[in-house]
Structure 1
Amino acid sequence: MTALTETHRTAAPSARFANLVPATVAWARNAVANTLPPLVALAILVGIWQLLCMGAGASLPAPSKVVTDTWELISNPFFDHGGTDKGLFWHLFASLKRVAVGFSLAAVAGVLLGVLIGQSSLAYRGLDPIFQVLRTVPPLAWLPISLAAFRNADPSAIFVIFITAVWPIILNTAVGIRQIPQDYRNVARVMRLSGPEYFFKIMLPATVPYMFTGLKIGIGLSWLAIVAAEMLIGGVGIGFFIWDAWNSSLMSEIILALVYVGVVGFMLDRLIGFIAGRISGPKARS
């Protein structure tokens, strides 16, 4: 009996290792399949850019020149010499703080208003036309009004982010609420679910895909709006950094900042997608 037990104990790790190898190989193949095509495409685009900018009359710097000109910014993004003379990390951090506040307010208000107009036909008829008109106003058109109201750059920028991001959240949440099957509502009445129970057990699971579609659109619009708003309000922020580099004719710094803006925007989009997957995943599996 002891010999059989010892044999089982030694065989178990070998079996686990044998199962681990195919899983690791499959993960590596999947990682290569997902990362190799965009890397090849990026290399081709950078190569074309380099070739087009090799002439003496090129108006834009080549990728190699961008890296050479901005190497100090790339290698030391955390420097702080006071005022607006800061590394790119601090400019991005300032912009992300404004986006976090404005987008969080928009998410809360957007979900609540979306639930209201999705649940109430009277609220829908009264508010939806107003929302449809206001959502077509360009984000920067709100900036003079916010500056007049708040008389400060930071709250003005946060308001622009809020007013830009809130509309897709409202409208997508409302669509999700209105798409809840009538059978679900009938079951809720039969089971006499309370308001909170109905919200968490029926309404929220049914509207998560719609809600997060609005949130993904909203976070993208927020990032676009803050870059444009900071060009006008000044201060520390990636938008001001780009505008200041333009005024100083530093094209390489502008290109570097645009790369950072794109990468951060991509990461924000994926973050919302990850949260959506974590919230809807358990419900989908159950």
Structure 2
Amino acid sequence: MRKAIAITLSSTRDRFAGGGDAGTFILQKLIAFAKGLLFNILGVCILVGIWYIVSLVTKGALPTPVATFAVLWELIKDPFYDYGPNDKGIGLQLGSSIVRVFSGFALGALVAIPAGLLIGASNFCKKMFYPIVQVLKPVSPLAWFPIGLVAFESASKATIFIIFITSLWPTLINTAFGVASLPDDHKNVAKAFGFSRWKYLTKVLLPYSLPHIITGLRLSIGVAWLVIVAGEMLSGGIGIGFFVWDSWNALSLEKVISAILIIGIVGLLLDKVFSWIEKRVTYSV
């Protein structure tokens, strides 16, 4: 009986100790999060301080943070109004840009991933196509815009085209690198078990290359979001890029800077999403 009681007390003590360890772990995580948040707030305050000093030095040529944040609040207070083709809320402008970005990005991924698998798996394809990739990759997005206009006869579709053509390269290159870096041991095991090509692709090649593919997609979405502003400045109509250009023509730097802040925040959120996915598929040996 005494032995049973002793075992029960020992088990209870261990549970409390484990709970203490879990509580300490959670507390450490909260402290680390609070420190990170504090540093982020400090960095933002320094940036706003520099901005305020520059606005004073330029004697009002650059709007102050207070004036800009007041305009930003007006923009986000009613983001979805629609008073005609040239007067739409910032939410509608942003939504239109996001649709174009993901349309071009998705088309680019559909081409880049199979092409990257092919180039990475075949030395013949690499020798034949990789030089073409290196030639086309550095071409400016704006240089593709006239070709898009000729091909699609639509400014909106031309914008999607330049997003497609410029965002596919990071995914293609990272996919090819991931496939090419597959260890020989993996290939030998697949041969030893007599894997078919489809099983080799789905059970060995794609799982091993997936972290590289997600990294490429993360870089590609950043490029796509970068390109949309320049593309919409040329295409006009509706979109966050057109909003920036239209605000500049109206001599409203407050709206221009507000749009820049919104563009930066959305870009940060997109990067965080793909970073989270990247961590979920990355494994350590």
Normalised TM-score (structure 1):
0.89
Aligned to 2:63: 61
Q: Which moved more, 1:81-90 or 1:52-61?
A: 52-61
| TM-aligned CA deviation for residue 38 of structure 1 | 1.5
Could you tell me how far apart the structure 1 residues matched to 2:215 and 2:108 are?
Answer: 14
Could you tell me how far apart the structure 2 residues matched to 1:51 and 1:179 are?
Answer: 50
Q: How does 1:112-261 map to 2 (within 5 A)?
A: 112-261=114-263
The root-mean-square deviation of aligned C-alpha atoms, in Å, is 2.5
Q: How does 1:45-124 map to 2 (within 5 A)?
A: 45-55=47-57, 57-124=59-126
Counterpart of 2:198 in 1: which secondary structure?
A: helix
Could you tell me how far apart the structure 1 residues matched to 2:120 and 2:71 are?
Answer: 53
Counterpart of 2:203 in 1: which secondary structure?
A: helix
Aligned to 2:3: none
Out of 42, 45, 49, the residue aligned to residue 43 of structure 1 is: 45
| TM-aligned CA deviation for residue 201 of structure 1 | 2.0
Aligned to 1:269: 271
Counterpart of 1:53 in 2: which secondary structure?
A: helix
Out of 33, 36, 55, the residue aligned to residue 35 of structure 2 is: 33
Identity of aligned pairs, percent?
A: 39
Q: 1:198 to 1:12 in 2, by over 3 A?
A: same
Could you tell me how far apart the structure 1 residues matched to 2:218 and 2:32 are?
Answer: 25
Counterpart of 1:86 in 2: which secondary structure?
A: coil
| TM-aligned CA deviation for residue 244 of structure 1 | 0.2
- Runs (4+) off by over 3 Å: 10-21
Counterpart of 2:56 in 1: which secondary structure?
A: coil
| TM-aligned CA deviation for residue 51 of structure 1 | 2.6
Q: Give unpaired runs (5+ residues) of structure 1.
A: 1-6
Please tell me the residue identity of whatever aligns with 2:247: A
Could you tell me how far apart the structure 2 residues matched to 1:262 and 1:169 are?
Answer: 22
Could you tell me how far apart the structure 2 residues matched to 1:51 and 1:84 are?
Answer: 34
Cα deviation code 1:180-203 (max 9, x no counterpart): 112211111111111222122211
Q: Give unpaired runs (5+ residues) of structure 2.
A: 1-8
Aligned to 1:3: none
Could you tell me how far apart the structure 1 residues matched to 2:56 and 2:117 are?
Answer: 56
Please tell me the residue identity of whatever aligns with 1:223: W
Counterpart of 1:167 in 2: which secondary structure?
A: helix
Please tell me the residue identity of whatever aligns with 1:134: L
Q: Is the 8 A contact 2:211 2:281 kept in 1?
A: no
Could you tell me how far apart the structure 1 residues matched to 2:36 and 2:202 are?
Answer: 36
Could you tell me how far apart the structure 2 residues matched to 1:225 and 1:56 are?
Answer: 30
Please tell me the residue identity of whatever aligns with 1:65: A
Q: Is the 8 A contact 2:145 2:231 kept in 1?
A: yes
| TM-aligned CA deviation for residue 207 of structure 1 | 1.4
Paired residues, number: 280
| TM-aligned CA deviation for residue 11 of structure 1 | 9.8
Could you tell me how far apart the structure 2 residues matched to 1:173 and 1:37 are?
Answer: 35
Q: 1:173 to 1:70 in 2, by over 3 A?
A: closer
